[in-house]
Chain A
Amino acid sequence: DAKTTQPTSMDCAEGRAANLPCNHSTISGNEYVYWYRQIHSQGPQYIIHGLKNNETNEMASLIITEDRKSSTLILPHATLRDTAVYYCIVSGRGTSGSRLTFGEGTQLTVNP
């Protein structure tokens, strides 16, 4: 699986958009970009994933560059409950679900 690079930490004001970057310059053509987050002492929560097109759901938007070497997760209106560690993961998709390898992630702190 391709390696990802994320900033260690970021801060965001409540109500503002949080933009979390991720570099994955060694991504291969059949690998997807997944985003998960983990609130302290809980299991990770799926946010969104994509292959090459931008994606949006009720939680977030995922913007993938045309060369697919980087992506940005956007939380449009961050709340205090969005404070968590956000993981960007690149993985090929197996037939029984994805075997995901987690990196260090970005600690996002949303401030009042």
Chain B
Amino acid sequence: GAVVSQHPSRVICKSGTSVKIECRSLDFQATTMFWYRQFPKQSLMLMATSNEGSKATYEQGVEKDKFLINHASLTLSTLTVTSAHPEDSSFYICSASRDRVSGELFFGEGSRLTVL
């Protein structure tokens, strides 16, 4: 079964509003989670690394004030797309590692955001 869960799976919002996406590790604690974005017919692009209890680390070119990440507990990271615009419409995916030895990442089901 799924070990990383995202909510909501689909969200439609009006331009200018903010949208929050949750990522939960279901049966393990994740001090680090990763957020990706994927546009149609493109590969996944790493946006940021979410660190429990500290600030997220953003990839070059990703606006930290636009994409707010909060990792308040060992099982939950949230991504908030602030003042969303149509160009923010995308598939957002989170991931976490359950096993530090293997380094294997488990991915959530993804959240499809459509901004009207």
Restricting to A33-56, which residues have a CB under 8 Å from any CB of B?
Answer: 34, 36, 38, 41-46, 49
For A91, the chain B residues whose CB sits under 8 A away are 103
Q: Is A99 touching B108 in the complex (CB atoms < 8 A)?
A: no
Q: Could you tell me if B91 and A100 are in contact, using CB atoms closer than 8 angstroms?
A: no
Please state if B43 and A93 are interface contacts (CB–CB under 8 Å): no
- Determine whether the beta carbon of A43 is less than 8 Å from that of B46: no
A103-B43 contact in complex given A46-B104, A96-B97, C-beta closer than 8 Å: yes
B107 pairs with A95, CB closer than 8 A: no
Residues of A within 8 A of B45 (CB): 102
The answer, among A38, A43, A97, A105, for a CB contact under 8 Å with B97, is: A97
List CB contacts (< 8 Å) of B29-86 with chain A: 30-32, 34, 36, 43-46, 49
Chain A interface size range? 20 to 34
**Interface on A for B, CB 8 Å cutoff?**
32, 34, 36, 38, 41-46, 49, 87, 91, 93-105
Contact A102 B103 (CB under 8 A): no
Contact: A32 with B103, CB < 8 Å? yes
| Majority secondary structure of chain B interface residues (helix, strand, loop or mixed) | strand
Given A96-B97, A97-B96, A98-B97, check contact A104 B43 (CB 8 Å): yes
Contact, CB under 8 Å: A87 / B100:
no
CB distance from B8 to the nearest CB of A (A): 14
Give Cα A41 to B38, complex, Å.
10
Q: Bound complex: CA of A9 vs CA of B57, how far in Å?
A: 33
Residues of B within 8 A of A38 (CB): 44
Which single member of B31, B95, B103 contacts A93 (CB below 8 Å)? Answer: B103
Decide: B32 and A97 in contact? CB cutoff 8 A.
Answer: yes
- Any A CB within 8 A of the CB of B105: yes
Check B115 for interface membership: any CB of A closer than 8 A: no
Given the interface contacts A43-B107, A97-B97, A99-B49, does A49 sit within 8 Å of B91 by beta carbon? no
How far, in Å, is A41 (CB) from chain B's closest CB?
A: 7
Bound CA span A105–B45, Å: 13
**B14-32 residues at the A interface, CB under 8 angstroms:** 30-32
